[in-house]
């Protein structure tokens, strides 16, 4: 089976009370996600608080995921500097990961010449297939279809794109330029049905951490072209999926997970746990969703 199909959870990173990684919780969580029909696991991404994890912590997290499930593990590869991103890519290959999700550098965002050099160094450092992660909202770097095509022409192991610009037209644009050369994935929770309609073959999802069965079913209905069924489930799911699209998406999704019995709302600073009206509004959205949870 291709790496680039189905629902790929961008997993949260569970922490112990001292904010060390809770590897036992990681194992249980990823096994549950795969048992519910998810096709792979993506640790160390934005939702996984990758920016607050050290290189050795990321490598250990990768190994835990690889050992826990038979499904592909495709970690996020991002760092402040290119040299560390290259080391992380090599650590992922050594850990037995199946592919890499390659991000632009944290903090520094510049022109295409510099961003291409960074991505090329990471891709060149591995034999693993690479998923390019385009998220201009979070990283202030926007890879155009033409730029993605340059990388695909330069490197055979550039295999897929996770499109998180929030614009489903980008999926259409990449397909028009590259045909079937790259697999295309949706990286924004509330753009799944639109993205699949435009040709996306996989979904890197967030709320799947708490609702895997609903996420898998929504993906299946969308891919099968069962528009009425997909829209009915989508309409129910959208208030939850929109929690993935705001600044405090990590805190929101971790709180939902906690309430569903999978994890704890702990986050690493500079993030802080939700309090007051923000927390209550998230719980209200969850209560409303659970009151009308559809049978699958």
Q: What CA–CA distance (Å, rounded) separates 87 from 228? A: 47
Question: Is 234 known to be catalytic?
Answer: no
Return the C-alpha torsion angle 33, 138, 254, 218, nearest 10.
-40
CA angle (30, 265, 33) in 5-degree steps? 15
Place of tokens 């607050």: 52
Provide Rg for the chain, Cα atoms. Answer: 18
Q: Is 271 strand, coil or helix? A: coil
Q: Which candidate, 104, 90, 165, 108, places its Cα nearest to that of 132?
A: 104
Beta carbons within 10 angstroms of residue 175's beta carbon = 17
- Considering 58, 139, 162, 219, which one is annotated as catalytic? 162
- Considering 133, 139, 219, 234, which one is annotated as catalytic? 133
Helices 112-124 and 145-154, packing angle to 10 deg: 40
Question: Is 162 known to be catalytic?
Answer: yes
Q: Which residues are catalytic?
A: 133, 162
């Amino acid at each position: 089976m291709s790496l680039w199909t189905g629902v790929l959870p961008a997993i949260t990173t569970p922490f112990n009370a001292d904010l060390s990684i809770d590897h036992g919780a990681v194992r249980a969580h990823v096994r549950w996600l795969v048992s519910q029909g998810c096709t792979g696991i993506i640790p160390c991404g934005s939702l996984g608080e990758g920016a607050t994890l050290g290189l050795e912590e990321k490598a250990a997290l990768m190994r835990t995921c690889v050992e826990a499930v038979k499904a592909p593990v495709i970690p996020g590869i991002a760092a402040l500097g290119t040299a560390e991103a290259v080391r992380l890519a090599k650590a992922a290959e050594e850990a037995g990961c199946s592919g890499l999700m390659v991000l632009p550098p944290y903090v520094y965002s510049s022109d295409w010449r510099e961003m291409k050099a960074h991505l090329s160094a990471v891709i060149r450092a591995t034999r693993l297939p690479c998923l390019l992660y385009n998220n201009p909202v979070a990283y202030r770097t926007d890879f155009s279809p033409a730029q993605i095509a340059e990388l695909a022409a330069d490197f055979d192991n550039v295999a897929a794109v996770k499109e998180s610009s929030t614009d489903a037209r980008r999926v259409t644009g990449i397909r028009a330029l590259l045909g079937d050369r790259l697999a295309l994935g949706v990286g924004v929770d509330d753009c799944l049905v639109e993205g699949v309609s435009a040709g996306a073959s996989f979904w890197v999802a967030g709320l799947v951490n708490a609702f895997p069965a609903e996420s898998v079913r929504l993906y299946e209905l969308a891919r099968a072209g069962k528009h009425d069924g997909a829209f009915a489930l989508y309409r129910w799911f959208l208030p939850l999926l929109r929690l993935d699209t705001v600044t405090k998406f990590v805190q929101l999704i971790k709180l939902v997970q906690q309430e569903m019995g999978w994890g704890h709302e702990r986050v690493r600073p500079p993030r802080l746990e939700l309090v007051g009206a923000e927390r209550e509004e998230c719980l209200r959205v969850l209560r409303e969703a659970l009151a009308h949870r559809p049978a699958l």
